Amino acid sequence: MPGELEEDRVMIKDSAEASTIYNKGCYGYPMSGGGLELDLMEASYLVESNRLEVVNSDGPITLEDLIRAASLIHRDFEIDYTVYRDLRQRGYIVKTGGDFNFRLFPRGGTPNNSQTKSWVMSVSERATFQIDPFVASIEQADQTRKELLTGVVDEEGDITYYHPCKSEPKGNVNVKWEGGPAVASLMEDRVLVFDQKSAEKLQDHGYYGKQTGAVLQLSLIEAAHLMEKGWLEVIRIASNRRINTDRFKKRALKFQPDFDLRLAVYNDLRSRSLIVKTGFKYGSHFRVYDDDPDKTHARWLVHSIPNDYETIWPEISRAVRLAHGVKKEILFARVSSEKIEYIKLTRVRP
């Protein structure tokens, strides 16, 4: 007996047919009297799988007509349905409803014998990535002690799944500065340490800078950080006059418009006993070590973002893919007036 389309639901009134469909995948919600109520997502999948026929007052409804009807009721139905179908084909029980697109149950689990494993969000690759609602979703999932999955659907219908979560990176490098500040020279956008003892001290107390020939070169970020801590004194090489920290940072802003944003993240990472180096070669702001960089590889790539950060999903995909390709974790460091929080995105296969 076919199901009947009633507004945004498909009703199966024959109890035997309803029982068969429910018992083979937990589709729909049983009704009193033995019937079954399906939402349009479930009904579309069952029709596409040739397990259900749907009719209305005019007769049988094709899959195209059913999806057209669903699209008029549910915004981005085709995106949600693509993710739903994929998860069902992977053998999961999937339910709609709630604050997220789907509830995903453990493989082999059902709503009758297990708790929800994951919340699932489905988005189009053309959608705007907005950090504020994205973090709100992570926090909501954390409050319910559920894993969060984001399925991004590309223009060919392929899906990339990400597991986003908050992260608290910590390191094992404790820096104790002794004695007076090291001395460096400012030349355009380069900070150079010519004094060998100062260079050795900076390397030994936090792995600051990079030795290039006989000179230790510091990044503008490193120099500003060291100046704020009183560990570095910078002299203009042209005038041989000392430059104070505020003037130095104003100068740095001319070369890096987001200098303050990056410096805030750099300072925070250093406060976590981490070693921080430029991440330019990896397309990020920083590469971060949790131990001696001469003995270990960088564990994280960190990108500094403002509190109201927006971008496109292909940019997020590129960052995650690149980090994965070099066996590192990508962290987006969100800077607000109150705190810096780290968001990790990991590419996963459900």
- What are the catalytic residues? 289, 297, 328
The rounded distance, in Å, linking the Cα atoms of 152 and 185 is 48
Q: How far apart are the first and last CA of the chain?
A: 34
The rounded distance, in Å, linking the Cα atoms of 52 and 55 is 10
The rounded distance, in Å, linking the Cα atoms of 111 and 26 is 8
The rounded distance, in Å, linking the Cα atoms of 94 and 140 is 19
DSSP string for 279-342: -GGGTSSEEEESS-TTTS---EEEEEEETT-EEEHHHHHHHHHHHHHTT-EEEEEEE-SS-EEE
The rounded distance, in Å, linking the Cα atoms of 335 and 307 is 5
